[in-house]
Amino acid sequence: MSSTSDHISALPSQAGPDTVVVLGLGPVGSVAALALAVRGITVIALESDHEQYANPLESRASTFHPPTLEMLDELGVTDELLGTGLRAPTYQHRDRRDGVVAGFDLALLAGDTRYPFRLQSEQSNLVRIVRRRLGEFPHVRVVSGAEVTAVRQDASGVELTLPTGTLTAQWVVAADGSNSIARRDLDIGFDGITYPERFLVASTTTDLAELLDDLAYVNYVSDPDEWLVLLRTPRHWRVLFPIEDGADLDRVQDPAEIARRLQGVAEYPPGYDVTHTTLYNVHQRVAATFRDRRVLLVGDAAHINNPLGGMGMNSGIHDAVAAVKALEATFGGASEALDEFAETRRTVALEYVQKATHRNWQTMQERDPAVRAEQHERLRAIAADPVRARDYLLEAAMLAPARPVPAT
């Protein structure tokens, strides 16, 4: 079996009984494929469009939390990934009018993780590194241009419809995004909410750290009128603005309007150099189940959330690693492993990721002055107490849900 990208016409109609087919090679699908490969499990990875994940200019995920770096280290990826990004040992909660409210130093987690920092690096770097690693394994077949248009499952296996015919597999890891064909065709519910506002992300090479005092690489800026996220990546600063429901979207995306908004963040008379903008809807949704017989949902196929806290891609990678461990255990005879994966990861999505990201949104846009003052005082008190700050960071850095306490 070839370890390089195959043409779709070279696909067999039937995958082997111990072969796992991965749908989608974004950051989550890529990690799933690599985690399978290093365990010696035969992989067929199908991607419809590699470039959508490989473009570093796209405003996609760019924060890697400590437990994600640990998982990637087990796959031999973290050292190279560290070379592509910026280490962010601190982050801040700020008020748009009053400046820094509270700063948190991940050095408090030095006893809990080998990586007491966030890594700021575009997800395209991870995809590129993993894609090259996959080429080292003779039991991995990567197939580009393989758009799956239908998924059907019966007693004989999972039938995937492709432009050139069908592929039947015994096991499928569906990392095919928020519009997952697998989730749709298996009629798995995807309940949740859509936020009333859209998010606008403007990327600029103008250095905000020279314009705002004491700026960290990651900053959550509350404000009753227009809260912000200010995020440093190796290439630029990203500024996230909320766009109110009913706004004129043509005007919102006009370069002059974006320039006006950026000047409101920090005055810069020469004008901001804007390299890219993205406007998108934001949802909080979780699949009714992460497993339907021989199909496992991971990443955005299983759950989507707002980006406040940088948990979406990270939790998707955690899904992928957990799914692969469950498949390995199943191949070894542990019949309950897949159900445990589905139940545990869905619980984390519902009880941790969804709640944490929604709480972040509520805090940043709070309008009541008394509530805002109370929130700020609480954050200051937590940051000033090393014990409370560590507990807070274990949650914010996703270490707590990545290492759940065993049931007694």
404 pLDDT exceeds 50?
yes
Query: What pLDDT score was predicted for residue 407?
Result: 41
Ordered DSSP codes for 245-280: TT--HHHHTSHHHHHHHHHHHS--TT---EEEEEEE
Which segment of 43-52, 169-178, 181-190, 301-310 scores lowest on mean pLDDT?
A: 43-52
pLDDT at residue 49, as a whole number: 76
**Do residue 359 and residue 220 come from a single domain?**
no
User: What one-character DSSP code corresponds to residue 14?
Assistant: B
Tell me the pLDDT tens digit for each residue of 277-293. Answer: 999 999 999 999 999 99
Write down the pLDDT at residue 60: 76
| % of the chain surpassing 70 pLDDT | 94
Least confident segment among 29-38, 354-363, 399-408:
399-408
Q: Give the CATH number, domain containing residue 397.
A: 3.30.9.30
Residues 152 and 74 in one domain: yes
Both 213 and 132 in one domain: the answer is: no
Shared domain for 167 and 77, answered yes or no, is: yes
Question: Residue 209 CA to chain centroid, in angstroms?
Answer: 25
Instruction: Name, in order, each residue with C-beta under 8 angstroms of 90's C-beta and a sequence gap of 6 or more.
Output: 103, 104, 105, 106, 216, 217, 218
Region for residue 263 given its phi and psi (left: phi exceeds 0; alpha: psi -120 to 50; beta: otherwise): alpha
pLDDT at 323 over 70: yes
- Please give the residue that has the higher pLDDT: either 7 or 311: 311
Mean pLDDT of the chain: 93
- Would the pLDDT of 134 be above 50? yes
For 117, 224, 271, the CA distances from 241, given in Å and listed in that order, are: 25, 13, 18
Q: What is the pLDDT of residue 16?
A: 82
What is the C-alpha to C-alpha distance for residues 69 and 129, in angstroms, rounded to an integer? 14
Q: Single out the residue in 365, 381, 396 at which a domain terminates.
A: 365
Q: What mean pLDDT do residues 237-245 have?
A: 96
Place of tokens 């072969």: 19
Domain count, the chain: 2
Q: Verify that 50 and 138 share a domain, yes or no.
A: yes
CATH label of the domain that carries residue 10: 3.50.50.60
Q: Which domain, by its residues, includes 37?
A: 5-85+121-192+284-365
Q: State the average pLDDT over residues 308-326.
A: 97
State yes or no: pLDDT of 273 exceeds 80. yes
Looking at residue 259, its pLDDT comes to 97
The answer to whether residue 1 scores a pLDDT higher than 80 is no
- Same domain assignment for residues 252 and 303: no
Confidence of residue 6 (pLDDT cuts 50, 70, 90): low
Whether 319 and 403 map to the same domain: the answer is: no
What is residue 56's predicted lDDT score, i.e. its pLDDT?
A: 56
Residue 378 CB coordination number (10 Å): 14
Same domain, 307 and 340: yes
Torsion angles phi and psi, residue 174, rounded to 5: -95, 105
77 and 160 together in one domain: yes
Give the tens place of pLDDT for each residue, 337-396.
999 999 999 999 999 999 999 999 999 999 999 999 999 999 999 999 999 999 999 999
Axis-axis angle for helices 337-348, 312-331 (nearest 10): 170
pLDDT at 399: 96
Question: Please, which pLDDT band fits residue 15 given cuts at 50, 70 and 90?
Answer: confident
Task: Note whether 30 and 87 are within 8 A (CB).
Answer: no
Residues 106 and 210 occupy one common structural domain: yes
Which band of pLDDT confidence, cut at 50, 70 and 90, is reported for residue 5?
low
What pLDDT, on the 0 to 100 scale, is given for residue 55?
A: 59
Same domain, 145 and 185: yes
Same structural domain for residues 150 and 244?
A: no
